[in-house]
Amino acid sequence: MPEIPITEKFLIDTGGWQALKHAKAMLEMGRVVSFNYTPPVLRGLVREGETEFRAGLKIRSYTDVENLCSCRDSREWGSICAHSLALALALIQPKPVPAKPVPVPVSSRLPILVAEGDACSGVGASGGDHALADRLTDWHWIELHIVLAPNLETSWDKDQVIAGFEVVRKDNRTLASALDPNQTYRCTRIDRDALELAREFVGGKLPGMTILSQDQFLKLVGVLVSHPRITLARKTSVTVSGERVLPKLVTETLADGRLKISAETSSIHGNWLVGSECAWLWSELRLYPVSPGLPVAYLPVLRGPIVLPAEHGLNFVQRELPGLSSFFQLDTQVESGLVVEPGVPEVFSTFEGSLNQLVAKLQCLYGRRMVTLGVTSEAFVYQERGAIRSRNLAFERDCLSRLQEFGFCGPIHDRRVCAARPKCHSKFFCARSSAVREGVEGFNREPLSESDPQRRTGDAESGDYCLRRRLV
């Protein structure tokens, strides 16, 4: 069997452009955890909120694709969901061209630093043994002082945070970079952790006066919690606190149905230092961790408001918001959830075939959006007479069940129809139950005019026809 090339056009034909748009958003937000493609099976993990779905596709041919996702839409409808499409997009996204490796000299990471606790246990930061620790005297003891520039806010905005790493040894204060590389020094564990991290920023040597990027500075702050010797220009003491700050998360439904999400920062005095992996608050000479552990996909909300499309906003409130209660204070509107009543759509049906073979397609019209049952999988909201309504999955299942009662099976995704078994055709056409009469009226073979929206096409003598009707 030839391998089917996976392209964006193939994914649109397989799952529809709406599902693909949702999949692209999930990929951009880093929801794809892992994936593996061994033709014809693509498998992986996709995170949505606090849930990880085992998603995937089994691609037998261009028109025969099976969804392997464990999400509800896949289980109940058998449709191609955005989770599986996100895996495929991750597979085909352009791979960065690897840069030619540049030989980097191996750093000896000298001098050796031994933390106080390591010396007592006989194991040093660089593998020193107990005998080495015993030979270290008070003359080798150092204390680290971190000196920040007085204009921290300005240097942060420029992505150039100046930090000085000074050590005191036997009442002599010098830059850490000036220590003798042939010696071994003792220090506290927090000093050793800070110096070892700073080594990584400057290529393996002990740092002196260093310019750090925003992310490097926040990484350094993360290991300096409760460090006793941090100052601005050697004069003003700075405290790195472990007391976390949880901003208030505010949601607002806009007039067009979109959802605006923002972090309430006006009531918290200070400067928000938001990096690519974490965030801190700089306020009154103290640094506080902001929402520690917050997944990086949600960090942009700390920089400014985010506006989501109506359907994505509803999905966010229902699936992702509960998992954010550990990182934000939720306002009353958010805690109660966004209450959206399901709408009642107009239902359209198409029946094609003859007494030998009969297929049907059901569609629901929500506002201006037409949904084909068994094909369109994503949840969404829409406006109806000024109110926000959601997709009514219970109503759609009821519509399908009425056909399934008369022998139709499916929905079959690749045909986008429900197909009836031949022995059940007569039962379907001859049914006189009130349920069918209310749902499908006027099954007859009388010709319809060209202007009538209920159109019948086909050969009357052969019994083949296509009947399209708007259900009431």
Q: Six-digit token pair at 111?
A: 């001098």
Q: Who's near 451: CB < 8 A, 6+ residues apart?
A: none
The helix/strand/coil state of 270 is: coil
Task: Specify the pLDDT at position 277.
Answer: 92
Q: Who's near 276: CB < 8 A, 6+ residues apart?
A: 215, 296, 299
Task: Specify the pLDDT at position 213.
Answer: 94
Phi, psi of 289, rounded to the nearest 5 degrees: -70, 135
| Beta carbons within 10 angstroms of residue 340's beta carbon | 20
d(CA 237, CA 187): 21
Question: In the 8-state DSSP scheme, what is residue 6?
Answer: -
d(CA 340, CA 362): 24
Q: Six-digit token pair at 214?
A: 């925003």
Task: Specify the pLDDT at position 422.
Answer: 52
pLDDT in tens, 312-328: 777 787 778 888 888 99
d(CA 67, CA 71): 10
Q: At CA 264, angle to CA 260 and CA 267, rounded to 5?
A: 155
Q: Can you state the percent helix, strand and coil of the chain, rounding each to 5? A: 30, 30, 40
pLDDT in tens, 68-79: 888 877 777 777
Beta carbons of 338 and 251 less than 8 angstroms apart = yes
Task: Specify the pLDDT at position 220.
Answer: 95
Task: Specify the pLDDT at position 379.
Answer: 66
Task: Specify the pLDDT at position 53.
Answer: 86
Q: Six-digit token pair at 81?
A: 């969901």
Please report the DSSP string for 94-136 in residue order: PPPPPPPPPP-PPP---SEEEEHHHHHHT--TT---HHHHHH-
Q: Which helix (H) or strand (E) holds 330?
A: strand 329-330
Burial class (CB in 10 A: 0-12, 13-18, 19+), 452: exposed
Please report, as a single letter, which amino acid is at residue 374.
G
Among the listed residues 408, 439, 411, 412, the one whose alpha carbon sits nearest the alpha carbon of residue 424 = 408
* Ranges of residues in the chain whose predicted pLDDT is under 50: 106-107, 119-135, 334-337, 413-416, 432-472
d(CA 46, CA 41): 16
**Adjacent-strand bridge partners of 342:** 390
Task: Specify the pLDDT at position 331.
Answer: 66
Beta carbons of 89 and 12 less than 8 angstroms apart = no
Task: Specify the pLDDT at position 463.
Answer: 40
d(CA 205, CA 107): 8
**Adjacent-strand bridge partners of 56:** 43
| Beta carbons within 10 angstroms of residue 66's beta carbon | 17
Residue position matching structure tokens 């390591």: 118
How big is the chain, counted in residues?
472
Q: What pTM, to 2 d.p., does this model score?
A: 0.56
Beta carbons of 194 and 144 less than 8 angstroms apart = yes
